[in-house]
Amino acid sequence: KNQVEQSPQSLIILEGKNCTLQCNYTVSPFSNLRWYKQDTGRGPVSLTIMTFSENTKSNGRYTATLDADTKQSSLHITASQLSDSASYICVVSAITGANNLFFGTGTRLTVIP
Amino acid sequence: KAGVTQTPRYLIKTRGQQVTLSCSPISGHRSVSWYQQTPGQGLQFLFEYFSETQRNKGNFPGRFSGRQFSNSRSEMNVSTLELGDSALYLCASRRDRDGSYEQYFGPGTRLTVT
């Protein structure tokens, strides 16, 4: 069964600190993995996309890693800012299938001053 | 290039009523998907339309329906509203149905059922 699991469910950190969010998946055949940031009451916005052959991809203070062998991904946020407070959603795409997008339930990150 | 737009942004309805939400995809995108998002539930897939045909459907009752027009714009309809239908409804578009294409989300329609 194709699934995407994220951890932790929620996280509170102090401004300026780093944090790492996890995503484990069982989607097959794997096409790509995306991390989205969703501010409260808004639509998700893509942060990074990684294909099978990519191990690391950065977007400013956001760095995503992918281990296709263990089917794990992480999103590392460096020097957190108050504006990083949001939900972070991991989405895994399969190559084929009528339904080829699988969503994690997200990690709710709160950055406090 | 304009992003995905959804109208209205906010809506308040009473139980038993019906509602229609609208989504305009990014120009050139032919696939439109709809999601329901409630606190703690994450994004729940409703359905996907491609070339005016429903290609995939999630696990929602028949009260939830949709359609897509020849210009790729899509509407979603919910009949006989229930309190549990209160949610953020997100529309997303992508150029094609292949999983390699990125999906772009609209800002959502916040529906409140009283």
For A82, the 3-state DSSP assignment is: helix
Rounded CA separation B88/B70 (Å): 26
Per the CB < 8 A criterion, the answer to whether B53 and B105 are in contact is: no
Closest Cα in chain B to A106: B42
CB contact under 8 A, B99 and A100: yes
C-beta pairs of B65-68 under 8 Å, 24+ apart in sequence? B66/B34, B68/B32
- Predicted local distance difference test score (pLDDT) of residue B1: 66
For B83, the 3-state DSSP assignment is: helix
Neighbouring C-beta atoms of residue B99, cutoff 10 Å = 23
pLDDT digits (tens, 9 = 90+) for B35-80: 999 877 788 899 999 999 999 888 899 999 999 999 999 999 999 9
Rounded CA separation A26/A4 (Å): 7
Per the CB < 8 A criterion, the answer to whether B72 and B25 are in contact is: yes
Q: How far is B17 from chain A (nearest CA, A)?
A: 23
Of A44, A98, A99, the CB nearest to B105: A44
CB contact under 8 A, A43 and B102: no
Neighbouring C-beta atoms of residue A41, cutoff 10 Å = 11
Question: CB contact, 8 Å: A111 with chain B?
Answer: no
Q: Which residues of chain A have pLDDT under 70?
A: 97-98
Rounded CA separation B85/B89 (Å): 10
Which of A53-57, A61-65, B8-12, B98-102 is predicted with the least confidence, judged by mean pLDDT? B98-102
Question: CB contact, 8 Å: B38 with chain A?
Answer: no
DSSP label at residue B104: E
Of B4, B43, B107, the CB nearest to A103: B43
CB contact under 8 A, A43 and B42: no
- Predicted local distance difference test score (pLDDT) of residue B60: 93
Question: How much is the mean pLDDT over chain B?
Answer: 93
In this predicted structure, the answer to whether residue B3 has a pLDDT above a threshold of 70 is yes
pLDDT digits (tens, 9 = 90+) for B16-42: 999 999 999 999 999 999 999 987 778
Question: CB contact, 8 Å: A74 with chain B?
Answer: no
Q: Omega before B39 cis (within 30°)?
A: no
CB contact under 8 A, B105 and A43: yes
C-alpha dihedral (B8, B9, B12, B18), degrees to nearest 10: 40
